[in-house]
Amino acid sequence: MQQFGLNEDQRLISDAVRTLAKEKFAPGAAQADRKYRPPVENLQVLAEHGYTGLFLPEAYGGAGLGLMDTVLVIEQLARSCANTAILFSCTDGATPRALLHLGSDAHKDRYLHRIAKGEVLTAWSMSEANAGSDVGNVQTRAVQDGDYLVLNGSKLWCTAAQVADLFLVLVRLTPAPGLAGVGAVLIDKDTPGFTVSKHLDLLGLRGTGMAELVFQDCRIPASNLLLPAGGMRQLFQVLDADRIAGNPPICLGVAEAALEHITAHLQERTQFGKPLAEQQGLQWKLADMAIDVEAARALLYRAAARVDAGEPSIVDTSITKTYVNQMAVRVTNEAMQLAGAYGLSEEYPYERHFRDVRGMSIGYGTTEIHRSSIARELLKGNYAF
């Protein structure tokens, strides 16, 4: 089906990734989930096909494409394997985006070519035990010691930690209160004093290698400073694109997969002498799911198109993320219900679909925090509707 708002190249990318993911990544998706194993080999396949470094400029070996292309790739990956999609969204997302826009020439030369080739996988780490929505409460400290910074503290919920080579880490650099004292540093995985510690298992997305990070007198060259204290607003601006591309397309792709599977199931399964798909009550549920998926896709593509047109909007981002997150929970939950007991069985994809999208309304800013930012802009008169 032709998608509204896409050019011919974008349709081709979307179709090609859909075919590739269906053939290569879908068969291992359930095992990645059950064995808590990041399907990192899939990222190599994507690199071989030229899909890594999508948004990086050609000068760094990237494809120089827009946010819409990233959205399309992640949507199609998630349709076959959500864990592959989230690993891709990490390594082709926040950290290289921050490096590109905020890094020095030395930072870019050191990392971006290798990221574009898929040789360096990246993660980003903000959250701590007492710093979740309240990022200004980050307590991991980086103290200057001559030409070095010495880090002490620990981080939670770092997606892709177990497979990443490079970490962007938010640290407290000065005693200034809140975000004013917070900046960001780059940490290579083998740095002495840095440990990827306890594996953290959440309800879903079990193949993302999520872990705790620990820093004990970890010395890094002062040149690894990416962002000085007080620069967080700049980082948030850069990461706004990632709130569109790094999270909602995963929800959209998984919801599409759930709708596709349950549509086939209702046509195949017979009860009371006829396929379940012939029950009008169930047809209307399918129709509501399709309406929800299409509305979410329209919002998401619109938000990405506006960024690519140089008209980003915080409200667009928050509306899109909130709606797409909640749509995916509704759609995957309904698919489980319509599949009956099969919906709850690990032999079928429905329960995994539900588990995989449930946490997405918490990561990248909770739906409550995004609602607050929509209301703030609305009440300030910054949002025309």
DSSP 76-94: HHHHH-HHHHHHHHHHTTH
Report the C-alpha gap between 50 and 118 in whole angstroms. Answer: 9
Catalytic residue among 92, 240, 316, 356: 92
* Helix (H) or strand (E) run with residue 20 in it: helix 8-24
Segment near ligand FAD (CB under 6 A), from 173-181, 253-261, 291-299, 364-372? 364-372
127 binds ligand FAD (CB under 6 A): yes
> What is the smallest separation between the CB atom of 169 and ligand FAD, expressed in angstroms?
9
Segment near ligand FAD (CB under 6 A), from 11-19, 217-225, 252-260, 359-367? 359-367
Report the C-alpha gap between 11 and 1 in whole angstroms. Answer: 10
Ramachandran category for residue 217: left, alpha or beta (phi over 0 → left; psi -120 to 50 → alpha): left
Residue placing its CB nearer to ligand FAD in the complex, 181 or 204? 204
> What is the smallest separation between the CB atom of 250 and ligand FAD, expressed in angstroms?
9
Among the listed residues 369, 376, 377, 383, the single contact to ligand FAD using CB under 6 A: 369
Q: How many residues bind ligand FAD (CB under 6 A)?
A: 18
Residue 206: φ, ψ to 5°: -75, -10
> What is the smallest separation between the CB atom of 91 and ligand FAD, expressed in angstroms?
11
Which residues, including other chains, have CB under 8 Å from residue 291's CB and lie 6 or more apart?
none
Among the listed residues 25, 55, 124, 354, the single contact to ligand FAD using CB under 6 A: 124
* Helix (H) or strand (E) run with residue 272 in it: none
Residue 310: φ, ψ to 5°: 80, 25
132 binds ligand FAD (CB under 6 A): yes
The sign one gets for the Cα dihedral 24, 25, 30, 36 is positive
Residue placing its CB nearer to ligand FAD in the complex, 279 or 367? 367
Segment near ligand FAD (CB under 6 A), from 99-107, 127-135, 305-313, 344-352? 127-135
372 binds ligand FAD (CB under 6 A): yes
- Looking from the CA of 94 toward its CB, the CA atoms found within 13 Å total 29
Residue placing its CB nearer to ligand FAD in the complex, 24 or 352? 352
What is the 8-class DSSP label of residue 341? G
Residue 145 corresponds to which amino acid? D
| Residue 92 appears among annotated catalytic residues | yes
136 binds ligand FAD (CB under 6 A): no
Give the 3-state secondary structure of residue 150: strand
Among the listed residues 183, 209, 231, 363, the single contact to ligand FAD using CB under 6 A: 363
Interacting positions 147-186 with ligand FAD (CB under 6 A)? 157-159
45 binds ligand FAD (CB under 6 A): no
**Tokens representing 242?**
């990632």
Closest of 263, 317, 265, 251 to residue 290, by C-alpha:
263
Q: Are 275 and 263 in contact (CB under 8 A)?
A: no
Report the C-alpha gap between 332 and 320 in whole angstroms. Answer: 18
133 binds ligand FAD (CB under 6 A): yes
Closest of 245, 196, 304 to residue 96, by C-alpha:
245
Residue placing its CB nearer to ligand FAD in the complex, 62 or 363? 363
> What is the smallest separation between the CB atom of 75 and ligand FAD, expressed in angstroms?
17
Residue placing its CB nearer to ligand FAD in the complex, 277 or 314? 314
Residue placing its CB nearer to ligand FAD in the complex, 223 or 366? 366
Catalytic site positions: 92
Chain residues binding ligand FAD by CB under 6 A are 124-127, 132-133, 157-159, 202, 205, 359, 362-363, 366, 368-369, 372
